[in-house]
Amino acid sequence: MQKILVTGGAGYIGSHTIVELLSAGYEPVIIDNYSNSDKIVLEKLQKITGQKIIAYEADCSDVKALRKIFSEQNISGVIHFAAFKAVGESVEKPLKYYDNNLISLIRLLEVMNEFKVNNFVFSSSCTVYGQPDNLPVSEDAPVQQANSPYGYTKQVSEQIIMDVINSGSEINAVLLRYFNPIGAHPSALIGELPLGVPNNLVPFITQTAAGLRKELTVFGDDYQTPDGTCIRDYIHVSDLANAHVKAFEWIDNNGKSLGIFNIGTGQGASVLEVIQSFEKESGKKLNYKIGPRRPGDVEQIWANADKSNKELGWKAKYTLDNAMLHAWKWQLAIDN
């Protein structure tokens, strides 16, 4: 059984990936500093999987802690989720984002080289495309100037990984460019748990419906889209998590190489369509208003996922409606 180190493994996407790894016969090992997650997730994971998860509380930029984990556990691969991810905060605190997101990656790659651990899956983002010239966007689209320091850390991280591979390192890497993860595990035991005011649309929707927020603001309805609101490719978090298992299988089959894959449904949905889907699945009318555009928002983007479908043997199976229902069940479970 291969042991996979999952950085940020108690976080939103990380925790769902732990479930998928165990289901596929891998043994995950978590490292998390719990700056944007909660230790109770470990108990919830045990409930879902029936297995106790090995977990270390440490920061990924702490070389001593990383060496301890690699010494104690026979790690055969790494999935790197741990990073700050709020676009707005990154604009306000760029140095915080550059320090955390880039230094942790560098330290991790150094320790992987030291312990001759070669298989690496990186949590990247469709933000690397900016506002693409052509839609749907494929992996060979040019990387555009980033709209935020957060987006730029993803671009630089990808370049760091490619440079390490080009230097003659034995590392094999898959860069997964996520579109917009939403939803929660169907059990409603784990889901998105934002600290403070949510930065993402769906938790803001569910918190508004639950009465935790007075109303939802839709940022702009004058975009060049069918209903005037921004369009994104919303993917169920469990589908996204499963792509990481497929990435390791791809590395096993392809040997020394670099793979870059879009992880999305291949379909765009507008903000208003997401709201309508939620209202249909929850049976609740949402209190929302139209506000001005938000700086830095891309007008529309969705994935061409053909490469992931063919080469990874991966395809999204959940619908937008499924994701909204699971997100609402999760919100109700938190409230109770």
Active site includes 152? Answer: no
**Which amino acid would we find at residue 229?**
T
List 129, 150, 152, 178, catalytic entry: 150
**Cα separation of 188 and 191, whole Å?**
7
Outline where the chain has alpha helix (H): 12-23, 40-49, 63-72, 87-92, 94-114, 149-166, 201-209, 237-254, 271-282, 306-307, 320-335
Helix (H, G, I), strand (E, B) or coil at 232: strand
**Cα separation of 243 and 3, whole Å?**
17
Outline where 50-196 has alpha helix (H): 63-72, 87-92, 94-114, 149-166
**Cα separation of 290 and 256, whole Å?**
50
CB 163 within 8 A of CB 156: no
The sign of the CA dihedral 202, 47, 2, 102 is positive
The answer for residues whose C-beta is within 8 angstroms of residue 81's C-beta and 6 or more apart is: 6, 7, 8, 9, 11, 13, 14, 17, 123
The answer for residues whose C-beta is within 8 angstroms of residue 296's C-beta and 6 or more apart is: 87, 88, 91, 147, 148
Please identify every residue annotated as catalytic. 150
